[in-house]
């Protein structure tokens, strides 16, 4: 698999769903990948990337942002309150907003920094105890709370349980977005982005299908 293959598959999934590929933001998830693989994708002209950890991203992206114009970075992994400042400086979007304390910290730092990343509220659609995200039945109240802080909530995000059909989770997330008037739907990874597109995804997060398997 490679970037052109993924782009072609996105186009086919959009055709089937009666959507336009222009509606889909492809986030190339570069976490843990060897630098030369990421540089190849940058050289091919792709500019939208996702990382899971602030510290890892701090170690490599400032230099790439210098070298390649127009890089857009998305934080996909859990964010600790003490990492909010570097996250606001480095990232254009945060997909893992899931608690009020974190939202308040982002609001404070964004005010000082004079910029705020786009925010996606992570929803734990499978109600898994180990997983980050707000519970589905708490999502509406949490989204209201974050909006009351004047934060730019663009959408919702989910990571379905590994052992369940993702479609039910994508459909649930789409419902939550619709009833809250949110346009952004961050859902779909290497194994299931076609289904996510069929169910309305606007941001798909694809790692291994673009870069190859991650060393772990």
Query: Among 29, 93, 97, 110, which residue interacts with ligand PLP (rule: CB under 6 A)?
Result: 29
The CA distance from 82 to 93, in Å, is: 17
Cα 200 from chain centroid (whole Å): 15
C-beta closer to ligand PLP: residue 58 or 107: 58
Complex with ligand PLP: residue 172 or 189, whichever CB lies closer = 189
Q: Compute the residue count for the chain.
A: 216
Residue 215 CA to residue 127 CA, distance in Å, equals: 29
Task: Determine, following the binding rule CB under 6 A, whether residue 58 of this chain makes contact with ligand PLP.
Answer: no
Q: Which of residues 95-124 bind ligand PLP (CB under 6 A)?
A: none
Write down the least CB distance from residue 213 to ligand PLP, Å: 8
Find the shortest distance in angstroms from Cβ 114 to ligand PLP: 28
User: Residue 50 is inside which H or E element, if any?
Assistant: strand 48-51
Q: Does 2 bind ligand PLP (CB under 6 A)?
A: no
**CB-wise, 28 or 109, nearer to ligand PLP?**
28
DSSP readout, 173-203?
A: HHHHHHHTT--EEE---TTTHHHHHHTT-SE
Q: How far apart are CB 27 and ligand PLP at their closest, in Å?
A: 8
| Minimum distance from residue 210 beta carbon to ligand PLP (Å) | 8
156 binds ligand PLP (CB under 6 A): no
Q: Which is nearer to ligand PLP, 57 or 189 (CB)?
A: 189
CA-to-CA separations, 36 to 4, 30, 63, 202, 211, in angstroms, rounded:
17, 11, 14, 28, 10
Any bridge partners for residue 120, and if so which?
Answer: 155
Q: Which of 2, 52, 58, 180 binds ligand PLP (CB under 6 A)?
A: 52
Name the helix (H) or strand (E) containing 96. Answer: strand 93-97
List interacting residues with ligand PLP (CB under 6 A). 29, 31, 52, 76-77, 159, 189-190, 205-209
């Amino acid at each position: 698999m490679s970037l052109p293959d993924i782009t072609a598959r996105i186009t086919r999934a959009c055709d089937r769903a009666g959507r336009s590929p222009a509606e889909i933001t492809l986030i190339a998830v570069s976490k843990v990948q060897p630098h030369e693989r990421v540089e190849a994708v940058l050289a091919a002209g792709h500019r939208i990337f996702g990382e899971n950890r602030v510290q890892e991203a701090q170690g490599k992206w400032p230099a790439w942002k210098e070298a390649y114009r127009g890089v857009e970075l998305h934080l996909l992994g859990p964010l600790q309150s003490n990492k909010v400042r570097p996250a606001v400086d480095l990232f254009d979007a945060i997909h893992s907003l899931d608690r009020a304390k974190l939202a308040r910290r982002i609001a404070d730092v964004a005010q000082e920094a004079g910029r705020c990343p786009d925010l996606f509220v992570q929803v734990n659609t499978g109600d898994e105890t180990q997983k980050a995200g707000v519970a589905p039945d708490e999502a509406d109240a949490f989204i209201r709370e974050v909006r009351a802080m004047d934060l730019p909530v663009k959408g919702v995000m989910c990571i379905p349980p590994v052992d369940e059909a993702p479609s039910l989770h994508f459909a649930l997330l789409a419902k939550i977005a619709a009833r809250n008037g949110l346009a952004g739907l961050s859902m779909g990874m290497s194994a299931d982005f076609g289904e996510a597109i069929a169910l309305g995804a606007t941001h798909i997060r694809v790692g291994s299908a673009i870069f190859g398997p991650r060393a772990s």
